[in-house]
Amino acid sequence: MAVVAYKCPGCGAGIAFDSEKQLFRCEYCLSEYTEAEIAAQTSEEETAGEGTAAADETFGDEVLSYSCTNCGAEVFADKDTVADFCYYCHNPVVAGGRLTGQLRPHKIIPFAYDKAAAEQKFLAFARKKWFVPRDFFAEKQVEKIRGVYYPFWLTDADITAGSSAKAEKVRTWRAGKNMYTETSHYRLYRKGNIHFEDITTGAYDKEDKSMLEGILPYPSDALKDFSMTYLSGFLGKKRNVEKEEVLDEVKNRISNYSTTLLRDTMRGYTAVHPQGTQVEMRKVLWDYALLPIWILTYNKGGKIYTYAMNGHTGKVYGELPISGKKLFLLFFAVALGVTLLGTIGGLLL
Amino acid sequence: MRRSLLIWLCVCLLTVSAFAADLGYVYDDADLYTDEEETKIIAAAEAVYSESGLLCVIVTDNGIGDMLDMLPTYAGSAVDMALLTIDMSARQFDLYQYNAVKGEGAFRISSSETDTILDGILPDMADGNYADAALLFVQLAEESFTNTEAFDPAVPGDGYEYNEYYTPEYMAPEHDYPYVTEYEPAFSIGTVLFPLLVGLFAGGIAVLCVWGSYKKKVHGATYPLGQYAKLDLIDAKDTFITKNVVVTRIADDPPHHHGGSRGGGGFHGGGGSRGGGARMGGRSF
């Protein structure tokens, strides 16, 4: 299996993707290269039989052992890892052989901002939350932050859906001493052709699914054709869930989305009660993509908080800690305010 | 709105020469009447005015605001006016009574007579016979106006409210109305205990809301449909099945209590000798 270490064409040092500049940058000679330049150079070296190192051994398909092309140290990685760092020289390496054939992703969204920006974005998000303990914002609290490309299935679907519902219109009026309430009952039916773009489903079951999908959506226009060079400098995982395994989930989501869309066209009624939706799938296209996520680990009072952040939009997933002191202040202020207002109001009325 | 402002402006200009100009009977901005119907209504209203002195005015529009300030303008030189408003956008009609006070405030159409007029024209209004409704309004208004048995001086309809701008000729009714009460603050344990319990409850709810929002891990939609899905509607059917109507008897309102110095819609001063108008009650159709 081919293990690729992308190297600077200028000085030969390890090279990694700079998310801010969207270029490859050498930390040693500060040269910058486009993705095409790095890919071309790697391709030449592969042809010449240099720059790559075959994996030494596999252990029952679970663990891959390979020699770092930079320092020669032996490095181990689990079977789903496609991009990592050498533990000794911290040189970024990509297990290119694991992303070939059926397992080669069609699309990728590169990281849009770097580690420091990710940390600042997260702190900015947390600082907006008044009830988070103040010391939680300290940068030293950040235990670990790493950029990971996780595998996802992207589904485009063209469907025809029909939805039926019962509806009511209520009209009231007064005449003399009487109040009249008129209720008109209707049966509604809506049918439409619907195109769904990029329904995104996690394709990696070793990570919390709700975390992976909690930072969605990614903008479709940020998708690029897959190139292994983007993985350099980040961790990467390959899929271990096939599209057949998520098909039912995707169909279910399409049915729910269709009901919502068709329900939105049933306007002008006091109440609408959906009765059911029939979905006919006309065309379904699947793309396998690697999408960028920053994983942040915080340590607060011995408890570890894990957050995921969308590597393109900055959307955060995770539970924030609450300051008990601030919560008590809120309780006290609301209770006191309402009591005072109620008492004064009661005395005046 | 623009049309209402235009009417207001025109009416203001007309007021300058109000005493010289003819009285207006029909302002049909909602175009409910044909020319022939309008002529008929004006003739009936003119007859009533010349016989009894009651000016019957009908105002129709698509959206009518509070008319109380405009009543003197519509009344012009008339002393007594009954004004019917028909708001076609809200499908409501309403009756206003106006009296240019000279000596005493006198509303000659009582609360129960107002109900009789409004309920009387409701069927025609509901059936879309607006001209018939207008003619009936003129007829019933005159009957009520000339019926002196129901005359109730200075008490507009169900309520009465003191107007600080109108004092010189005001004559208080002989019988007592329970509208003016003296303020006596009374402090007891109950006055604090109940608000305290409500306050504690509100504090608890606030804490629960914050706690819930901070424990929530996912923020915002993970698949915004408006952005990622496109619907092309190819069939839409709305089939009427059935209709039912429930009638509920409305309980009488308890007596209203008002503070001693609070002004209201009962009387609106329009200068030293100008009188007041009253909104008598409305109906939907």
How would you write chain A as a 3-class SS string?
A: CEEECCECCCCCCEEEEECCCCEEEECCCCCEECHHHHHHHHHHHHHCCCCEEEEEEEECCCEEEEECCCCCCEEEEECCEEEEECCCCCCEEECHHHHCHHHCCCEECCCCCCHHHHHHHHHHHHHCCCCCCHHHHCHHHEEEEEEEEEEEEEEEEEEEEEEEEEEEEEEEEEECCEEEEEEEEEEEEEEEEEEEEEEEEECCCCCCHHHHHHCCCCCHHHCEECCHHHHCCCEEECCCCCHHHHHHHHHHHHHHHHHHHHHCCCCCCCEEEEEEEEEEEEEEEEEEEEEEEEEEEEEECCEEEEEEEECCCCCEECCCCCCHHHHHHHHHHHHHHHHHHHHHHHHHC
Cis preceding-peptide flag for B254 (omega within 30 of 0): no
Asked if A173 and A305 sit in the same domain, the reply is: yes
Q: What are the b/e assignments for A259-292, b being 16+ CB within 10 Å? A: bebbbeebeebeebebeebebeeeebeebbbbbb
Q: Residue B270 has what pLDDT?
A: 31
Q: Which residues of B touch A167 (CB under 8 A)?
A: 238
State the count of interchain CB pairs (< 8 A) between A and B: 195
Residue type, A120: Q
Instruction: Confirm whether A304 is domain-assigned.
Output: yes
Tens digit of pLDDT for each residue in A245-259? 999 999 999 999 999
User: Higher confidence at residue B203 or residue A146?
Assistant: B203
Instruction: Supply the pLDDT for residue B153.
Output: 46
Do the domain assignments include residue A244? Answer: yes
Q: Total structural domains in chain A?
A: 2
Do A60 and A185 fall into the same domain? no
Interface test with B, best of A169, A334, A348 (most B CBs within 10 A): A334
A174-183, A284-293, B270-279: segment of lowest average pLDDT: B270-279
Say what the pLDDT of residue A81 is.
73
A302: pLDDT confidence band, cut at 50, 70 and 90? confident
Q: Which of A177, A330, A338 sits opposite B195 (nearest CB)?
A: A338
Chain A residue nearest residue B253, CA to CA: A177
Q: Is residue A86 part of a domain?
A: yes
Distance from CA of A293 to the nearest CA of B (A): 15
Average pLDDT of span A281-301: 88
pLDDT band at A178 (very low <50, low <70, confident <90, very high): confident
CB contact under 8 A, B239 and A196: no
Q: Is residue A285 part of a domain?
A: yes
Q: CA of A36, closest CA in chain B: separation in Å? A: 30
pLDDT band at residue A165 under the 50/70/90 scheme: very high
pLDDT number for residue B20: 36
Q: How far A53 CA sits from the closest chain B CA (Å)? A: 41
Are residues A152 and A67 both part of a single domain? no
Instruction: Judge contact between A226 and A83, C-beta under 8 A.
Output: no
Q: Which domain holds residue A63?
A: 2-104
pTM of model > 0.90: no
Asked if pLDDT for residue A201 goes beyond 70, the answer is yes
Interface with chain B: mutation pick from A127, A171, A173, highest number of B CBs within 10 Å: A173
Max mean pLDDT range (A178-182, A236-240, B19-23, B202-206): B202-206
Among B207, B229, B238, select the one facing A261 at the smallest CB separation: B229
Contacts of B224 in chain A (CB under 8 A): 217
Contact state of A257 with B229 under an 8 Å Cβ cutoff: yes
Mark yes or no for CB contact B210/A182 under 8 Å. Answer: no
User: Tell me, what's the pLDDT at B5?
Assistant: 43
* B226 → chain A, closest CA residue: A261
Of A187, A196, A200, which has the smallest distance from its Cβ to B239's Cβ?
A187
Residue A74 shares a structural domain with residue A221: no
Q: Name beta bridge partners: B284.
A: B92
C-alpha distance from B238 to closest chain A C-alpha (Å): 5
Which residue, A84, A104, A124, sits at the end of a domain?
A: A104
A21, A155: one domain: no
Per-residue pLDDT of chain B (285 residues; tens, 9 = 90+): 444 444 444 444 444 334 334 578 999 988 899 999 999 999 999 999 988 888 999 999 888 877 777 777 888 878 788 889 998 888 888 888 877 654 444 567 777 788 888 888 988 988 888 999 999 999 999 988 887 665 544 444 444 444 444 444 445 555 555 555 555 666 677 778 888 999 999 999 999 998 888 887 777 778 888 889 999 999 999 999 988 878 777 765 544 443 333 333 332 333 333 345 556 557 777
The per-residue pLDDT for A142 is: 65
pLDDT number for residue A338? 93
Q: Which of B206, B223, B250 sits opposite A334 (nearest CB)?
A: B206
Query: What does the pLDDT read at residue A346?
Result: 79
Residues on chain A touching B186 (C-beta within 8 angstroms): 347
Q: A164 and A93 in one domain?
A: no
A173 lies in the same domain as A258: yes
Q: Which residues of A touch B246 (CB under 8 A)?
A: 180-183
Contacts of A181 (CB under 8 A, 6+ apart): A170, A171, A172, B245, B246, B247, B248
Q: In chain A, what residues touch B93 (CB-CB under 8 Å)? A: none
Of A42-46, A234-238, B127-131, B198-202, the least confident: A42-46
Q: How much is the pLDDT for B166?
A: 44
pLDDT of residue A191: 95
Distance from CA of B168 to the nearest CA of A (A): 32
Say whether A188 and B250 touch across the interface (CB within 8 A). Answer: no
Residues of B in contact with A316 (CB under 8 A): 219
Q: In terms of domains, do A25 and A85 share one?
A: yes
DSSP SS3 for B89: coil
> ipTM higher than 0.90?
no
Task: Write down the pLDDT at residue B251.
Answer: 65
pLDDT of res. B182? 56
Residue A330, pLDDT score: 93
Q: Is residue A18 part of a domain?
A: yes
* Residues A13-24: tens digit of each pLDDT: 777 777 777 787
Confidence of residue A62 (pLDDT cuts 50, 70, 90): low
Distance (Å) from the alpha carbon of B96 to chain A's nearest alpha carbon: 17
Does residue A121 fall inside a structural domain?
no
| Among B217, B221, B243, beta carbon nearest to A319 | B217
Q: For position B128, what pLDDT does the model report?
A: 87
The pLDDT, as a whole number, for residue A193 is 95
Spell out which residues of chain B touch residue A253, defining contact as CB-CB under 8 Å: 223
Find the CB nearest B233 among A190, A198, A214.
Answer: A190
Which of A16-25, A89-98, A314-323, B96-105 is least confident? Answer: B96-105
**What confidence score (pLDDT) does residue A53 get?**
42
Q: Do B232 and A193 touch (CB under 8 A)?
A: yes
B100-115 exposure pattern, b = at least 16 Cβ within 10 A, e = fewer = bbeeebbbbbbbebbb
In a domain, A308, yes or no: yes
- Do B187 and A347 count as a contact with CB atoms less than 8 A apart? yes
Residue A142 located in a structural domain: no
Based on the fold, state whether residues A171 and A100 are members of the same structural domain.
no
Residues A289 and A169 in one domain: yes
Cα distance from B251 to chain A (closest Cα, Å)?
Answer: 8
Q: How far is B225 from chain A (nearest CA, A)?
A: 7
Q: How far is A26 from chain B (nearest CA, A)?
A: 36
Rounded to an integer, the average pLDDT of A226-243 is 85
Contacts of B222 in chain A (CB under 8 A): 213-214, 216-217
Asked if B249's CB is within 8 angstroms of A179's CB, the reply is yes
A81 with A162, same domain? no
> Are residues A88 and A190 located together in one domain of the fold?
no
